[in-house]
Amino acid sequence: MTSPNFSGEPPHRVVVIGGGPAAHRFAESMHSRRAQEGSRDVTVTVLGEEIHLPYDRVALSRRLVSSEDLTLGDRELWNSPGITYRGGVAASRVDLEERSVELADGSTVPYDDLVFATGSAATVPPIPGASQGYVYRTLEDVDFLVAESARLAAQLGRPAHVVVVGGGLLGLEAAGGLQRLGARATIVHSGRWLMSAQLDEGAGQALGRLIEAQGVTLALGNRPTQVLTGPSGRVLGVELTDGRAISADLVVFSIGITPRDELARAAGLAIGARGGIVIGDDCSSSHDGVWAIGEVASVGGVCVGLVAPANAMAEVVADRIHQGEASFPGIDDATKLKLSGVEVASFGDALGASEGALEVVYADPARGMYQKIVVSNDAKTLLGGIFVGDAAPYTALRPLLGRELPAEPSAYLSAAGVEAPASAELPDDVQLCSCNNVSVGAVRGAIRGDHGEACTELGPLKTCTRAGTQCGSCVPLVKKILETELSKAGIEVSKALCEHVDLSRSELFEAVRILQLTSYEQIMQHFGRGLGCDVCKPVMASILATQTSKYILDSGSGALQDTNDRALANMQKDGTYSVVPRIPGGEITPAKLKVIAEVAEQFNLYTKLTGGLRIDMFGARLEQLPDIWRILVDAGFESGQAYGKSLRTVKSCVGSTWCRFGVQDAVAMAIELELRYRGLRSPHKFKLGVSGCARECAEARSKDIGIIATEQGWNLYVGGNGGYQPAHALLLAQDLDDKTLIAYIDRYLMYYIRTADRLQRTARWQEELPGGLDHVRDVVCNDSLGLAEELEAAMAQHVGNYEDEWAATLNDPERLRRFRSFVNAPRTPDPAVVQVTERDQPRPARAEERAAATAERVLVSGPSIPVRRGQ
C-alpha cells in the first residue's frame, strides 16, 4: 500500500535483524513517519529469532510469578501497511555487496538499508560444569526456570535450592522471583556489594540488607570455580573461589551480556575491542547503509543494556533513513527499578567521579535506607544520585540533572524525614521521560493540543507522547504537569472518587456529615450512580463508621467492607486469619500473657511478636474466630487491630516508670491514647508512638503521630510512617501538657479524616495540603479555620460511642452467622487450608507440599513433617 504523498517508485526496503525492544521502537518510529508530508515510501521487515512479537525484557521478572503478556505496544502495529514481522526465523548470513540477508531456511531477503538489532546473549563463565547451568534472558528461559523449579521441588520433596551467579539487575530479579515461587535462593556475586556497577558501597550494603531480609542468601566477593554434578549429570552445588561449596539443584547465570555480533563480524563490519558493532553519532556502521541499535551497538567501546539508549538509537536511525540529521545524544544510564519489592534508582554521576564533586548522603543501615545526591563543588548543580529503599526523590531530581537545584541538596533526602521543597516549574527543554526521550515541553504541548486533539487525561497523554509507557518512573511527574496545565487553562481537574461518585473523598465526607446520612443507599441516592464498586463502597463504609459509630457490619454495611473488615481480622495468604489482641501501650500482665499462650496452643496458631509490641497469632480459620474471641474477651482483651484502615497500635517505651533516663510516663500516655482512638476509621491505617525521653526508644518519629517527652511536657510530631514510602514525622508543637497534647491530636486526626484522599497516609496528606505543615499547625494549634471545637466534639462522639466490635459480634447470633466456611456445615473446616509444621509452629503449605498432601505426611528437607488439613 502506498501513501498518497509517495512518488510511486519502488519502496525503500529496510530489513531489521532482531526482534527485541530496540527493533520494536524502530518499527514504531518508522510507522509514525509514514503519515508525515514528504516522507519516503519505506517498507520495514523485522526478522525475529524468537516466535514472540517483541516483548518487554525489563519486565521479565513479572513472568516468574504470572503468565502476564509482556508484548510491547499495540499488536496492530504489525498489521500496518509497510510493516512486517517474521518471527521464529534466524538470519544466518549477511551479504554486504549483494545487500541481502540469508535466512536459516535458505531463503534470502534483499534490503536497501539494514539495521542490526540483534541484542545480546547472557554470558556464561568458562568453568567446569557450566553447561549444566541456565541463563535468564528470554521468555523461554523464564518459563523453563518456573517449570524446572516446580519439577525439582516435587521430585525432591522440598523447595529447590537455586544459586544465581550475578548480583546485578537481572540476577536480583531472578533470585527474588524464584524465591517468591518457593525456591531457596542464593546469590553469588564477584563484587563486595550488590549492583556494584551502578551503586557505591553504602547503597550496595543497604540493598544487601533488604534482599537478605527477604530470605535470599548472599555470597559476595566470590566467583564460581565449577558447577558440581553427580554421576547422572544432576547439579549438586557450586564451588566458590573462597573454597566453599554451596548446595544447589539449579544454577542460573546472570553475570553480564555478550553482544550478538557474530553475523556482523562474519560480514566484515568493524567490531569493538570488547565486542559489538562500532557505530558513529548517526548510529551507522563501517559499511554504508548498515546501522546498529541497542545492545549490539558499541558506543565509545561500550555496549549498554538499557532501554533509554536503545530507544534513542532507534529514533536516530529512523530519522536518518528518512534523510534527517539526528544524532545519538550519548548514553543515559539512569535506572529506576523495583527489585524484589525494593526500590533502587541511580542517575548521572552516581559514583561522584566528577572533579570536585560533593556527596550529600543519608544512610540508615538498620532500615536499609540509603540516599545520595552528587552536586558540583559549589553545592548548586545536580550531577547525579543514588537511592535505595526510598527512591521518591528520583522523579523530581532526574529532570534537573545538570541544572541548578532550586533548594539545598539535603532538602531532597526524604528518608531523613525532611520536607521536600515545592518543585519549581520545569523548563520546556528538560527531559521528562528518558526512556522515550520526551521533554516537558512535548508533554505540555500535547495537553494544550498544539499538534492535534488536546490530551487532557493521563491515559491518552501517555499514549500520544509515550512518556511513562516504558519503565513508568516518570508517571507521577507527568500526572503533576497534567494537573498544573489543566489548572492554568481553567479546566477543573477531576478528583472524583470513582466512576460512580463524582465527589472526592473529603467532599463526600462533608456531604454525608452535613446531610446526616446514615446508610450506603442514602449516599448513593444523593451522590452516586450505578451499583458502586470496590473503590467507593469501602470508602462509604469508612465514612459511615467514623460519623455514626455504629457496628461496622450492621445496616447493610457488611457487603461494603473489604475482606479484612468483613471478618474483623486480617486474611493471610492461605485463606486463614490472624488474631492480634489489643495490648494498649504494650503493657500486659502475666495472667493475660498466659491466656494468649493458651489460645495459641488450643487452636495451634503460629505466634509472632510484631514491630508494634503486640503478639500476632496466625492460622485461624473463619469459623474458629468467634471461639478465639470468646476466650480473649472473657480475659479482658479486645481482638485488637491489624486489619482495618484505623488505629493499629500505640507503641511505647517504659518511660519514667522504670527507665533511669525517662522524664515522663510514656506507658500511661500510650495506654490513654490507644484506648481513646481505638476503632477510629480513617483514610488509611495510622500508628502512634510515645517515647519517655529524647533517646526515642519507641521510634515515635516513624509513626503518623509521635510523642516525645521533655522535662517541660511533650513534643508532638506528625506525618511519619514506615511502609512503601517511609517518612519521619515533623515537629508540630513543643512542651505540651497532657490536656493540650490530647486536644491537638484530636484535632489533627479529625482534620485528616475529613480532608484526606482515599488510602492517603498522613505523610502524603500533609505534603499535598496547600501550605503543608504550616497550614496543619495553623489549623490544629492556632484554630485558623475556627474548627477546633467542632473537631474535638467529633472525636468526643467517637470516644463516647465506642463499642468493642468483637464482643458485639459474640453477643448477637445473627452476626455470628457470618463466621462459617460453609453455610450448611458451619463447623466443617475448609479443606483448602493445608498447613505444615516448621520450627515447632504451623505455617501455610507451599505449592509442592500442597500437591503432595493427598498423603498424611510429606517429606520436607529431611525429616517428615506432619500435614495439617484444617484442624
Give 863's pLDDT tier (boundaries 50, 70, 90): very low
867 pLDDT band (50/70/90 cuts)?
very low
- Average pLDDT, integer, range 24-50: 85
Q: What is the mean pLDDT of residues 493-519?
A: 81
Strands (E), 166-289: 184-189, 217-220, 224-229, 235-240, 245-247, 250-253, 257-259, 277-278
Whether residue 167 is found in the same domain as residue 198: yes
Does the residue 7 lie in any domain?
A: no
Last residue of a domain, one of 424, 452, 478: 424
In 10 A of CB 734, how many CB atoms?
Answer: 12
User: What pLDDT is attached to residue 1?
Assistant: 37
Pair (19, 54) in one structural domain: yes
When mean pLDDT is compared across 58-72, 229-243, 666-680, the lowest value belongs to 58-72
19 falls within a domain: yes
Nearest to 507 by CA among 485, 540, 484: 540
User: What Rg, from alpha-carbon coordinates, does the chain have?
Assistant: 31
Confidence tier at 239 by pLDDT (50, 70, 90): very high
> How confident is the model over 747-761, as a mean pLDDT?
91
Task: DSSP for 609-636, please give it.
Answer: E-TTS-EEEEEE-GGGHHHHHHHHHHTT
DSSP letter for 789, please.
H
Asked if residue 825 has pLDDT above 50, the reply is: no
- Answer yes or no: is pLDDT of 514 > 60: yes
Q: Does residue 245 or residue 331 have the better pLDDT?
A: 245
Confidence of residue 232 (pLDDT cuts 50, 70, 90): confident
Which pLDDT belongs to residue 24?
94
- The predicted structure's pLDDT at residue 417: 62
Distance of CA 686 to the CA centre of its chain: 21
Give the per-residue SS3 of 302-315. ECCCCHHHHHHHHH
CA distance 670 to 707: 9
Q: Are residues 865 and 791 in the same domain?
A: no
Beta bridge partners of 17: 47, 116
Does residue 148 contact residue 251 with C-beta atoms inside 8 Å? Answer: no
> Given a cut of 90, is residue 443 above it in pLDDT?
no
pLDDT tops 70 at residue 129: yes
Name residue, grid cell 521502537: 25
pLDDT band (50, 70, 90) for residue 619: confident
In a domain, 652, yes or no: yes
- pLDDT exceeds cutoff 90 at 285: yes
CA torsion, ordered 810, 811, 813, 817, to nearest 10 deg? -30
At 818 the pLDDT is: 65
DSSP 687-725: EEEEESSTT-TT-GGGSSEEEEEETTEEEEEES-B-TTS
Tell me the CATH number at 177: 3.50.50.60
- State the pLDDT at residue 331: 78
Sheet with strand 647-652: strands edge to edge: 647-652, 686-691, 705-710, 713-718, 730-736
Are 40 and 322 in contact by the 8 Å Cβ rule? The answer is yes
326 in a structural domain:
no
Domain count across the chain = 7
User: What proportion of the chain, given as a percentage, has pLDDT over 90?
Assistant: 33
Please state the rounded mean pLDDT for residues 227-241: 91
**Predicted confidence (pLDDT) at residue 824 exceeds the cutoff of 60:** no
Does the pLDDT of residue 194 top 70, yes or no?
yes
pLDDT of residue 340: 61
Residue 151 lies in a domain: yes
Asked whether residue 587 carries a pLDDT value surpassing 80, the answer given is yes
Average pLDDT in the chain: 83
In CATH, what number is assigned to the domain containing residue 701?
A: 3.30.413.10
pLDDT band of residue 38 (cuts 50, 70, 90) is low
Average pLDDT over residues 782-803: 91
Per-residue model confidence as pLDDT tens digits over 427-438: 777 777 767 778
- The domain spanning residue 419 has which CATH number? 3.30.390.30
Q: Which of 414-423, 513-522, 730-739 has the highest mean pLDDT?
A: 730-739
* Separation CA 826–CA 821 (nearest Å): 6
Among 380, 397, 424, give the residue marking a domain's end. Answer: 424
Residue 422 DSSP symbol: P
| pLDDT confidence band for 573 (50 / 70 / 90) | low
722 vs 702: CA distance, rounded Å: 6
Q: What is the pLDDT of residue 567?
A: 65
653 is in an annotated binding site: yes
Residue 260 has pLDDT above 90, yes or no: yes
| Whether the predicted pLDDT of 779 surpasses 90 | yes
**Which of 96-110, 113-127, 734-748, 752-766 is predicted least confidently?**
752-766
Mean pLDDT: which of 554-568, 637-651, 737-751, 794-808 is highest? 737-751
CB within 8 A of 421, min separation 6: which ones?
406, 407, 411, 412
Residues 677 and 783 in one domain: yes
Q: Are 239 and 176 found together in one domain?
A: yes
Query: Per the annotation, does 464 bind a ligand?
Result: no
Give the torsion sign (CA, 15, 20, 26, 30): positive
Q: Is residue 625 predicted with pLDDT exceeding 80?
A: yes
Q: Residue 865: which pLDDT band, with cuts at 50, 70 and 90? A: very low
Give the rounded distance of the alpha carbon of 65 from its chain centre: 15
Sequence-distant (6+) residues with CB within 8 A of 852 are 154, 157, 858
Model confidence at 482: pLDDT above 60: yes
Residue 247 in this model has a pLDDT that exceeds 50: yes
Lowest model confidence (mean pLDDT) among 469-483, 788-802, 817-831: 817-831
Of 212-226, 713-727, 820-834, the range with the highest mean pLDDT is 212-226
pTM of the model: 0.56
Nearby residues of 231 by Cβ (< 8 Å), 6 or more positions away? none
User: Which of 491-505, 688-702, 787-801 has the weakest average pLDDT?
Assistant: 491-505
Q: Is residue 73 part of a domain?
A: yes
Q: Residue 817 and residue 836: Cα distance in Å, rounded?
A: 29
pLDDT for the residue 826: 52
Q: Is residue 603 part of a domain?
A: no
Confidence of residue 751 (pLDDT cuts 50, 70, 90): very high
Q: Is the Cα torsion angle 305, 311, 317, 321 positive or negative in sign?
A: positive
Amino acid letter, 751? Y
**Residue 245's Cα: distance from chain center in Å?**
34
Co-location of 28 and 50 in the same domain: yes
Q: Was 693 annotated as part of a binding site?
A: yes
Q: Are residues 285 and 301 in the same domain?
A: yes
Say what the pLDDT of residue 168 is: 86
Whether the per-residue pLDDT at 278 is higher than 90: the answer is: yes
pLDDT at 620: 85
Q: Where are the alpha helices (DSSP H) in 716-821?
A: 738-755, 762-768, 772-780, 788-801, 805-810, 813-816
Per-residue pLDDT, 827: 56
Residue 846 has pLDDT above 80, yes or no: no
Residue 140 and residue 202 in one domain: yes
The residue range of the domain holding 204 is 130-255
Q: How far is CA 139 from CA 51, 135, 169, in A?
A: 10, 11, 17
Average pLDDT over residues 797-818: 80
Boundary-marking domain end, from 441, 457, 491: 491
828: left (phi over 0), alpha (psi -120 to 50) or beta: beta
Residues 420 and 432 in one domain: no
What is the enclosing helix (H) or strand (E) of 87?
strand 83-87
Q: Among 68-82, 251-265, 470-484, which is the least confidently predicted range? A: 470-484
pLDDT given for residue 792 in this prediction: 95
pLDDT at 869 over 90: no
Q: Which residue has the higher pLDDT, 870 or 817?
A: 817
The answer to the question of residue 740 being in a domain is yes
Q: Of 282-291, 398-407, 548-557, 687-696, which range is least confident?
A: 548-557
783: its cell numbers: 484554630
Q: How many CB atoms sit inside 10 A of residue 656's CB?
A: 18
Report which secondary-structure segment, H or E, holds 85: strand 83-87
Give the per-residue pLDDT at 857: 35
Block residue for cell numbers 495506654: 671
Rounded to whole angstroms, the Cα distance separating 621 from 830 reads 8
| CB neighbour burial string for 637-650, b if at least 16 within 10 angstroms, e if fewer | bbbbbbbbbbbbbb
Maximum distance among all Cα pairs of the chain, rounded to whole angstroms? 93
Written as nine digits, the cell of 526 is: 444523593
Give per-residue pLDDT as tens, 463-481.
778 787 766 667 767 877 8
Average of pLDDT values for 208-217?
Answer: 86
Cell of 115: 539495521
Mean pLDDT calculated for residue range 805-811: 81
Residue 199 and residue 346 in contact, taking contact as beta carbons nearer than 8 Å = yes
Q: According to the model, what pLDDT value does residue 831 have?
A: 61
- Do 230 and 271 lie in a common domain? no
Tell me what pLDDT residue 4 has. 45
Residues 849 and 763 in one domain: no
The per-residue b/e assignment along 826-861, b for 16 or more CB within 10 angstroms, e otherwise, is eeebbeebbbbeeeeebbbbbebbbebbeeeebebe
Same domain, 733 and 840: no
H/E segment holding residue 395: helix 392-397
CA distance 655 to 662: 5
| DSSP string computed for 579-615 | E----GGG---HHHHHHHHHHHHHTT-EEEE-TTS-E
